[in-house]
Amino acid sequence: MMNCSAIDLFCGIGGLTHGLELAGIDVQLGIDLDKSCQYAYEANNEAKFFHSDISSVEGNYINETFWNNTDIKILVGCAPCQPFSTHQNKNKNKKDHKKWNLLNEFERLITETNPDVISMENVPNLSNQVIFKEFVEFLKSSGYYVTYSNVYCPDYGLAQKRRRLVLLGSKKGYLTLLPPTHSVEEYTDVKSVIGFLPELDNGEIDSTDPLHRTTKLSPINLERIKQSKPNGTWEDWNEKLLLACHKRKSGQSYKSVYGRMSWSEPAPTITTQFYNYGTGRFGHPEQNRALTLREGAILQSFPKDYKIIDPGRPFSISKYGQHIGNAVPVKLGEIIGQSILSHIEEMNE
C-alpha cells in the first residue's frame, strides 16, 4: 500500500480534514490564520494545527517536516470564499479584496511542494472568474491533469442544498469526483439528521450539550416565527408583522428571510449567520426558534459529538457560527478523499 499524506490549507475547524480522515487519508497538518479554530481541529482529528498566515508558510518546511517519507503527497484547501461569494460580498470591484490573493498563495505552495494530487473546494461563482481560469492554466502547465465541477451536495447525501466548486488535479492522470450516491428521491432530509435532538424553547440551552443552544428572539420575531409555515414566506404573516422592506418592490424577492425550513427536504445552505432567524430560512421546522449551533454543525455533516466549543476561550455564538458556516462539509470531504484514493489505486494497478 502506498503511503499517502495530506496537508490542509485554510483548514478551519477541520471539516475537510475530518472527511479525508474518514475516507482513510492520513492528514498530517492543517494550516489556518484563525487560532480560535485550533481547539476543534485538534480535538477531533489526528492532524496537528499550525497557526499561520499562509503567505508565511514555506514549501520547504512542509516537504522536510511532513513529506520527507511520503509516496503520494496531497495538498488540499478551501481558500476563504468572501471574494467570490454572492452571499457574503457585494463589492463589485472584487480584485481589490485582500483575500483575493489567497489563491495565488495556494499556487505558490503547489510550486514549492510539488504535490502529486491537489484538491480545492470553493463557491461555484469562482469558476467564472479570470483568476480561477489562470489557476487552472497554471496547473496544466505544471503537469497536472485537471477536472472541476459544481457539486450539488444533496447528490452525495448531505442534508443541505449547498453548491460547491470542487477542483481535482493529479500528475498521474485525470482524477474525477465519484458519481453521485443519491438520486432526488433518496435525498437526505432535515428530520433524519436533526429530528432526534432535544426540543428547546426560544433562547434555551441544552444542559447536556452547550452547542445545542438557540439565540433569544425578540417578541416581534417570536410572533413572526409562530406565524411562519415550513417553506413559507413572510406573506403568511399578519400585515402588522411585516417589515418596511417587505412593502417595497425591492423587498419582494427576499422571501426566504425569516422563514422556516421543512422537515421533508434538505436544508438551505448553512451560512455563517444560520443561528439568526432573520438572515435566511433558518427557522426550526416545528419549534418557535432559530437553528442551534449543533443543528447547523450536523447539517454541515459534522458528527453529532464533534467538539467545537473551546473551554479555554470565552463563548462567542458569532465566532462558532462562523466556524461552522465556513467549513467544508465533512461528507463532501469524505467523497473527495474516496475519489482521491480510488484514483491512486486505479493509477497503480
Give the domain CATH number at 179.
Answer: 3.40.50.150
| String of DSSP letters for 224-259 | HHHT--BT--GGGS-GGG--HHHHSGGGTT--STT-
Q: Which domain does 174 fall in, by range?
A: 4-183+329-347
Provide, rounded to the nearest whole percent, the portion of the chain with pLDDT above 90. Answer: 80
Name the residue among 68, 148, 17 with its Cα closest to residue 8. 17
The predicted pLDDT at position 148 comes to 97
User: If you ran DSSP here, which 8-state letter would residue 332 be given?
Assistant: H
The predicted pLDDT at position 348 comes to 84
Q: Are residues 38 and 165 in the same domain?
A: yes
Q: Are residues 197 and 70 in the same domain?
A: no
Burial-class residue 298 by CB neighbours within 10 Å (0-12, 13-18, 19+).
Answer: buried
Q: What residues are paired with 165 via a beta bridge?
A: 122, 150
Q: Are residues 176 and 205 in the same domain?
A: no
pLDDT confidence bin for 310, thresholds 50/70/90: very high
Tell me the pLDDT of the chain averaged across its residues: 92
The predicted pLDDT at position 247 comes to 63
Name the residue among 213, 341, 310, 317 with its Cα closest to residue 13. 310
Q: Which of residues 238 and 45 earns the better pLDDT score?
A: 45
Determine which of 232-241, 277-286, 312-321 has the lowest per-residue pLDDT on average: 232-241
Q: How far apart are CA 260 and CA 290, in angstroms?
A: 8
Q: Are residues 213 and 198 in the same domain?
A: yes
Contact 107, 150 (CB under 8 A): no
Q: Residue for cell digits 432567524?
A: 277
| 322 has pLDDT over 70 | yes
| Beta-strand relationship, 48-51 and 26-32 | parallel
Per-residue pLDDT tens digits for 192-215:
999 999 999 999 999 999 999 999
| Counted domains in the chain | 2
Provide, rounded to the nearest whole percent, the portion of the chain with pLDDT above 70. Answer: 91
- Averaged pLDDT, 111-130: 94
Q: Are residues 99 and 68 in the same domain?
A: yes
Burial-class residue 195 by CB neighbours within 10 Å (0-12, 13-18, 19+).
Answer: exposed
Q: Are residues 298 and 254 in the same domain?
A: yes
* Helix, strand, coil percentages, rounded to 5, for the chain: 40, 15, 45
Q: Are residues 12 and 84 in the same domain?
A: yes
Determine which of 67-71, 91-95, 238-242 has the lowest per-residue pLDDT on average: 91-95
Q: Are residues 275 and 336 in the same domain?
A: no
pLDDT confidence bin for 99, thresholds 50/70/90: low
Q: Are residues 158 and 211 in the same domain?
A: no
- Averaged pLDDT, 50-77: 96
Would you tell me how many other CB atoms lie within 10 Å of the CB of residue 154? 23
User: If you ran DSSP here, which 8-state letter would residue 94 be given?
Assistant: G
| 96 has pLDDT over 60 | no
The predicted pLDDT at position 90 comes to 45
What is the dihedral angle through the alpha carbons of 321, 325, 331, 337, rounded to the nearest 10 degrees? -110
Q: For the CA atoms of the chain, what is the radius of gyration? A: 21
Give the domain CATH number at 271.
Answer: 3.90.120.10
* Catalytic residue of the set 11, 78, 81, 153: 81
Name the residue among 159, 77, 90 with its Cα closest to residue 125. 90
| Beta-strand relationship, 72-77 and 4-9 | parallel
Q: Are residues 176 and 208 in the same domain?
A: no
- Averaged pLDDT, 210-221: 95
Q: Are residues 168 and 222 in the same domain?
A: no
**153 assigned to active site:** no
Q: Are residues 114 and 203 in the same domain?
A: no
Name the residue among 288, 257, 287 with its Cα closest to residue 274. 257
| 221 has pLDDT over 50 | yes
- Averaged pLDDT, 311-325: 96
| 311 has pLDDT over 50 | yes
Q: How far apart are CA 261 and CA 232, in angstroms?
A: 8
Asked whether the whole model's pTM tops 0.75, one would answer yes
Name the residue among 35, 109, 106 with its Cα closest to residue 77. 106
- Averaged pLDDT, 295-307: 98
